[in-house]
Amino acid sequence: MRRLTWFNTTSLTLGFAFLYLPMVILVIYSFNSSKLVTVWAGFSTKWYGELMRNEAFLDAAWVTIKVAVLSSTFATVLGTLAAYVLVRAGRFWGRTLFSGMIYAPLVMPEVITGLSLLLLFIGIGLDRGVMTIVLAHTTFSMCYVSVVVSSRLATFDMSLEEAALDLGSTPFEAFRLVTLPIIAPAVISGWLLAFTLSLDDLVIASFTSGPSATTLPIKIFSAVRLGVSPEINALSTIMIAMVTIGVISASLISKRAAVRQRLEEQQAVRS
């Protein structure tokens, strides 16, 4: 490998500074004791205290987590099923339409998805609330899950499953005992992706939620429209910290799993 030229070093430095500096500034200002976000008046954690006492934010956070857990779980089941159909089911009537419906939501502008789902819910007379947001989030995030899972399924050695079937297991057992453990990493990352997509969504939730259910992004958006506030900075810092810890620990776990697998394989070869 050649050494990095000055050009490459500068573009990496500037690029990552651009990606991370705004978030660093946000985090720093969340510890500012002044109400004026622009003036530094000393270190303080009082905005975190204020945040913990803000009932409206806590309620919205609870609704958001409920929606995210439910919708990402449904999306993982449906998305894995859809991926299985895409990769394994062969030809069936309307296959092109099916794969189109899997890929189209990935690039569909959120305003259109939100509007169309809302009109559907109104049309069939469904009351808007937590349930309608869950339905909406499940629908768009199952497509992400199925893209992630189908790329793993495509590289999967089918003879393993056939061997299980030859040895007398039912198709369901073969899926549960052979296929699922192998595609599990993709299924888990699909769930995580669906979970963060749901946590993050403002537009679709705004269309499909009713007055009874306000999610955190909706709450943040209406607060932010009035300008910068230290409480939102504190909330953002907590969310950034959670994501960072989550992503880093997930990558450490998968790295460790890979190392262990390699050791086991080496031992198997030796014995």
Partner 1 sequence: MRRFALIAIPYFWLLALFLVPFAIVFKISLSDIALSIPPYLPQLDLAKGWEGFTKFLGALDFENFEFLMMDDLYYKAYLSSLKIAAISTFLTLLIGYPIAYAMTRAGEEWRPTLLMLVILPFWTSFLIRVYAWIGILGQEGFLNQTLMFLGLTSEPLIILNTPIAVYIGIVYTYLPFMILPIYSALEKLDNSLLEAAEDLGCSRITAFWLVTFPLSRGGIIAGCFLVFIPTLGEFVIPSLLGGSNTLMIGKVLWDEFFSNRDWPLASAVAVILLLILIIPIILFQRNEQKQRESEG
Residues within window 31-70 making contact with partner 1, judged by CB under 8 A: 37-38
- Which one of 49-57, 89-97, 176-184, 260-268 is the stretch in contact with partner 1 (CB under 8 A)? 89-97
Among 82, 153, 183, 187, binds partner 1 (CB under 8 A): 82
- Interface residues for partner 1 in 117-156 (CB under 8 A)? 117, 119-120, 122-123, 135-136, 139, 142, 146
- We find the least distance from the C-beta atom of residue 270 to partner 1, in angstroms, to be 27
In degrees, to the nearest 5, what angle opens at C-alpha 107 toward C-alphas 102 and 112? Answer: 100
Structure tokens belonging to residue 271: 């014995």
Counting Cβ atoms within 10 Å, is residue 218 exposed (0-12), middle (13-18) or buried (19+)?
buried
Binding residue count for partner 1, defined by CB under 8 A: 80
Among 130, 182, 188, 239, binds partner 1 (CB under 8 A): 239
Structure-derived torsion over alpha carbons of residues 252, 255, 259, 264, reported in degrees to the nearest 10: 100
- We find the least distance from the C-beta atom of residue 79 to partner 1, in angstroms, to be 8
Asked if 96 touches partner 1 (CB under 8 A), the answer is no
- We find the least distance from the C-beta atom of residue 194 to partner 1, in angstroms, to be 12
- Interface residues for partner 1 in 151-210 (CB under 8 A)? 171, 196, 199-200, 202-203, 206-207
Which residue do the tokens 């086991």 mark?
Answer: 264
CB 130 within 8 A of CB 63: yes
- We find the least distance from the C-beta atom of residue 152 to partner 1, in angstroms, to be 15
Structure tokens belonging to residue 81: 């099923």
Asked if 240 touches partner 1 (CB under 8 A), the answer is yes
Among 225, 268, 270, 271, binds partner 1 (CB under 8 A): 225
Asked if 107 touches partner 1 (CB under 8 A), the answer is yes
- We find the least distance from the C-beta atom of residue 108 to partner 1, in angstroms, to be 8
Among 58, 165, 243, 263, binds partner 1 (CB under 8 A): 243
- Closest CB to partner 1 among residues 103, 166: 103
- Which one of 46-54, 99-107, 161-169, 262-270 is the stretch in contact with partner 1 (CB under 8 A)? 99-107
Among 41, 56, 224, 258, binds partner 1 (CB under 8 A): 224
Instruction: Give the N- to C-terminal CA distance of the chain in Å, as an integer.
Output: 37
- We find the least distance from the C-beta atom of residue 162 to partner 1, in angstroms, to be 16
- We find the least distance from the C-beta atom of residue 271 to partner 1, in angstroms, to be 31
